[in-house]
Structure 1
Amino acid sequence: MPSNLPNNEGRVSEMALSLPDPPTGWGNWQLRAECRDVDPGLFFPHDNEGHGDRVRRERRAVEVCLECSVRLQCRQRALTAGERYGIWGGTTESDRRTQSRSGRGRPASSLAEDSE
């Protein structure tokens, strides 16, 4: 089988021929996500991150999400899976906690972006 990724002996590695399937229940929407080629550190909190740094990082991450064609699928996946950390579908950890507690529709920070 041809591949441009040789193993240690210069032979083609069969494992390099395909990516693993997405986790069960994810579908393939994440393959089209804007964040796919972005440093994951932008979307998750860092140890000893100050409040101001966290707010700025979260804003930059949400900006990436605003340009994403699969933002709503990502957000729904995060809510369904109970993701507690990180930015998912343009929502912060706080947004998802608020939505979860209230049992209402979408988080407040997502309303403006979807009305444009």
Structure 2
Amino acid sequence: MADVSRLPWAITDHWDWQVHAACRGMNSELFFHPDGERDPSRSERVAAAARICASCPVREPCRDWAHRVAEPYGVWGGESEQERRESLARLRRG
């Protein structure tokens, strides 16, 4: 029998949580900044996205995924790009 222990796991194991996301089917522009976006527009967009994330049933797996892959763009699990960078830096410092 072939050794399958080194094969990657099913992709659905990574993404099943997305089916239940509050943002599913929404315009992704709310969660990802357009080129050249600056405050106050950026802060308002991030706050609107975070409000959607606040009541999302899969907020934690979403944020965990973004941390695990060091996602550089967008609002994931209620965290902006800057908040995620700061959170990951705190975790690295211990």
Q: TM-score, normalised by structure 2?
A: 0.81
- Say which structure, 1 or 2, has more relative contact order (CA 8 Å, 6+ apart): 2
1:101 to 70, 89, 93: 89
- Unaligned 5+ residue runs, structure 2? 1-9
- Which AA in structure 2 matches 1:95? E
Alignment length (residue pairs): 83
**Quick one: distance in 2 between partners of 1:83 and 1:99?**
12
Q: Percent identity?
A: 37
Structure 1 outlier segments of 4+, above 3 Å: 22-25
**Bigger shift: residues 92-101 or 69-78:** 92-101
- Higher Cα radius of gyration: 1
2:17 to 10, 29, 38: 29
What is the CA deviation profile of residues 49-92 of structure 1, one whole-angstrom value per residue up to 9, with x for unaligned ones? 12100000000000110110000000000000110110000011
- Which AA in structure 1 matches 2:23? C
- Which AA in structure 1 matches 2:65? R
- Residue 67 of structure 1 pairs with residue 55 of structure 2: yes
Change (3 A) 1:69 1:103: same
Q: Secondary structure at the match of 2:60?
A: helix
Q: TM-score, normalised by structure 1?
A: 0.66
- Unaligned 5+ residue runs, structure 1? 1-21, 105-116
